[in-house]
Structure 1
Amino acid sequence: MPEIFRDEDIEAASGKGADDENFPVGSFLIAPPLRPHVKAYYDFARGADDIGDDPDLLAEEKVRRLKAYRAVLHGEGEGLSKPSALRASLLEAGVPLERGSDLLVAFEQDCRKDRYASLDELLGYCRYSANPVGQFLLDLHGEDRALFGASDALCTSLQILNHLQDLKEDFREIGRSYLPADWLAEEDAVVEDVTASKASPGLRRVIDRLLEVCSELNQQAEELVSGLKSRRLAAESAVILKLAKRLRVKLAEADPIAGRVALSKADFLKAGAAGFVQGVILPRRAA
């Protein structure tokens, strides 16, 4: 397969970078020998996401590039550095290639679909856009796949919280909305309400309903930390869960339509300290 585009061109075109992420895939808590694998995965996901959100590409071209990513990842093509690097990494670590290609299902869906009829549709999207990340980390650390459910809950919560942060930007910049259409109708709201200076009462109710979903998902994710064998990964998971809970509270207290709601440095420091204690120091069921 000839090189039809360069990975390095993608981030520049989309304007995105690692600083746009609330919950980085890797941190200093990940064991040093595993960090190159985490970086390869992150670079692949970032590159594919940037293709899907590139405002200068037609949907057909986005899909074509994402299919090229998939082909290289599965050894059916060549010439793209990020999927090539991830393929080598996953094969070396013994992690299924699907942990990468499952992400592409969501990115291709973003090229074709910009509305979600129900919560079930949104959760189906998160199955591919977010959940493979946690599954990758569990596989990389050799953890029990029985923890996939708790991991999926955390990853889905993070994805929905990110959508709520970016309601206005997603609609204005790429015409996309992840708000369940049936809930909007039930609450006498419309997608276009996100362009206002503040949330309408109906839109606020939809936001609060999604935040309640995130609260339930965060509760389901609690067993992840105590069930992990790796204390480093337990600490990482504890930190991310605490950040998810904090962001949920901030989104409940503030209006994401009036201004972007974000975590502060103090939030990260507090979550980091508490997560380290919970994951590394306190006893766990699967120590």
Structure 2
Amino acid sequence: MNDHLTNAYNLCRTIALSHYENFPVGSILLPSEQRPHVFAIYAFARIADDIADHPGLKASEKIEQLAAFKATFDRRENYFNQRDHLLCLAVNHSIETMKLSRQYFYDLLDAFKQDIEKNEYRTLNELTDYASRSANPVGRLMLELFELNSDENNRLSDQFCSGLQYINFWQDLSIDKQMKRFYVPYDLMQKHGYELNDFYFDVPDDRHSQLINELLDWTETQFKEGKQLIDKISGRFKYELQLIWWGGNAVLQECRRMQSQLLLKRPALSAPLIMRHLLD
């Protein structure tokens, strides 16, 4: 690997590790030969997500920057800045050397574009469709990276990754409402007697908790089914996946404890709290 490519992967590592996650990203549990490619995958998703979430940009500017990032990924070099050029250099190298599916990266970009253009969801099916592009591609890329991408593993990975995505939605209810992003499906709000503004901005009560518990039950069912993936793989990736599941489950159980208070503040996970949920 030449110095330019080494610098590109080092940048990916810095980006991937500079953002807080509820689970490990490319930890030392993974074989050293795979870790740079893991960092490249997560850095790609992280930069695209940062563009979609940028508080100082108008929607049209976000779309323009996301298109420029995609152009850099596609190697249309007249669009790149130096950071994105290096990042995409590493990502394209990972795709070519590890035989990763390019379409999964396009799916991620499509999901982040949707995040800019769409701020509410009418049904759980709409939310599931979004997660199929915002979360599931990362899991499938990881399976490809470790040559574990059977049809059954892909199916379980989709459940696992979608579950993590939904947990993140419910964890961030108080933050997303300030950004006017409403991931609680409208038909579910109506089922519990709410309009959108009533649910998000009224003082939380028991009905709020009932709705949130229904969402958490739905999420937990999928996340637990996805956990079966851990039993189907071996090696060091298995232990990384176990840690990711523990972290996600700890957040899920803390969301259950907080219920309607999720609309007011985000759960804060400390090491003792995570250990308590691990021992439950």
Q: What TM-score do the two structures reach when normalised by structure 1?
A: 0.81
- What percent identity do the matched residue pairs reach? 31
Q: Could you tell me which residue of structure 2 aligns to residue 75 of structure 1?
A: 75
Q: State the shift of 1:204 in Å.
A: 1.8
The reply on whether 1:242 has 2:246 as its aligned counterpart is yes
Q: Alignment partner for residue 162 of structure 1, among 168, 173, 177?
A: 168
CA 1:17–1:225: 2 relative to 1, 3 Å:
closer
SS in structure 2 of the partner of residue 256 of structure 1: helix
**Matched-pair contact (CA < 8 Å) for 2:107–2:137:** yes
Instruction: Provide the C-alpha distance between the structure 2 equivalents of 1:214 and 1:253, rounded to a whole number of angstroms.
Output: 15
The correspondence of residues 47-58 of structure 1 with structure 2, limited to 5 A, is: 47-58=47-58
Q: State the shift of 1:120 in Å.
A: 0.4
**Matched-pair contact (CA < 8 Å) for 2:200–2:263:** yes
> Matched residue pairs, number?
255
Instruction: Provide the C-alpha distance between the structure 2 equivalents of 1:24 and 1:251, rounded to a whole number of angstroms.
Output: 20
The reply on whether 1:225 has 2:230 as its aligned counterpart is yes
Cα deviations across residues 11-56 of structure 1 (Å, max 9, x unaligned)? xxxxx98343222432221111111111111111111001001122
Q: State the shift of 1:270 in Å.
A: 7.4
Instruction: Provide the C-alpha distance between the structure 1 equivalents of 2:147 and 2:228, rounded to a whole number of angstroms.
Output: 17
**Matched-pair contact (CA < 8 Å) for 2:169–2:183:** yes
Indicate the larger mover: 146-155 or 21-30.
Answer: 21-30
CA 1:84–1:267: 2 relative to 1, 3 Å:
farther
**Matched-pair contact (CA < 8 Å) for 2:175–2:266:** no
Q: Could you tell me which residue of structure 2 aligns to residue 152 of structure 1?
A: 158
Q: Could you tell me which residue of structure 2 aligns to residue 45 of structure 1?
A: 45
SS in structure 2 of the partner of residue 32 of structure 1: coil
Cα deviations across residues 79-106 of structure 1 (Å, max 9, x unaligned)? 2322332112221211111222211111
Q: Could you tell me which residue of structure 2 aligns to residue 59 of structure 1?
A: 59
CA 1:183–1:84: 2 relative to 1, 3 Å:
same
Over 4 Å off, 4+ runs: 267-272
Q: Could you tell me which residue of structure 1 aligns to residue 18 of structure 2?
A: 18
Indicate the larger mover: 198-207 or 155-164.
Answer: 198-207
Cα deviations across residues 253-280 of structure 1 (Å, max 9, x unaligned)? 11312432133213556789x9xxxxxx
Q: Could you tell me which residue of structure 2 aligns to residue 89 of structure 1?
A: 94
Q: What letter corresponds to residue 242 of structure 1 in structure 2?
A: W
SS in structure 2 of the partner of residue 205 of structure 1: helix
Instruction: Provide the C-alpha distance between the structure 1 equivalents of 2:132 and 2:252, rounded to a whole number of angstroms.
Output: 20
Q: Could you tell me which residue of structure 1 aligns to residue 5 of structure 2?
A: none
Cα deviations across residues 111-164 of structure 1 (Å, max 9, x unaligned)? 110000000000111011111111111110111322011111111111111111
Instruction: Provide the C-alpha distance between the structure 2 equivalents of 1:46 and 1:242, rounded to a whole number of angstroms.
Output: 22
Instruction: Provide the C-alpha distance between the structure 1 equivalents of 2:216 and 2:18, rounded to a whole number of angstroms.
Output: 25
Unaligned runs of 5+ in 2: 1-15
**Matched-pair contact (CA < 8 Å) for 1:239–1:271:** no
Instruction: Provide the C-alpha distance between the structure 1 equivalents of 2:269 and 2:250, rounded to a whole number of angstroms.
Output: 8
- How large is the Cα RMSD of the aligned pairs? 2.3
Indicate the larger mover: 262-271 or 175-184.
Answer: 262-271
Instruction: Provide the C-alpha distance between the structure 2 equivalents of 1:69 and 1:24, rounded to a whole number of angstroms.
Output: 26
**Matched-pair contact (CA < 8 Å) for 2:250–2:274:** no
Instruction: Provide the C-alpha distance between the structure 1 equivalents of 2:134 and 2:143, rounded to a whole number of angstroms.
Output: 16
Q: Alignment partner for residue 103 of structure 1, among 92, 108, 129?
A: 108
Instruction: Provide the C-alpha distance between the structure 2 equivalents of 1:24 and 1:69, rounded to a whole number of angstroms.
Output: 26
Instruction: Provide the C-alpha distance between the structure 2 equivalents of 1:89 and 1:17, rounded to a whole number of angstroms.
Output: 18
Instruction: Provide the C-alpha distance between the structure 1 equivalents of 2:221 and 2:67, rounded to a whole number of angstroms.
Output: 35
Q: Could you tell me which residue of structure 1 aligns to residue 255 of structure 2?
A: 251
Q: State the shift of 1:77 in Å.
A: 4.1
Instruction: Provide the C-alpha distance between the structure 1 equivalents of 2:273 and 2:135, rounded to a whole number of angstroms.
Output: 22
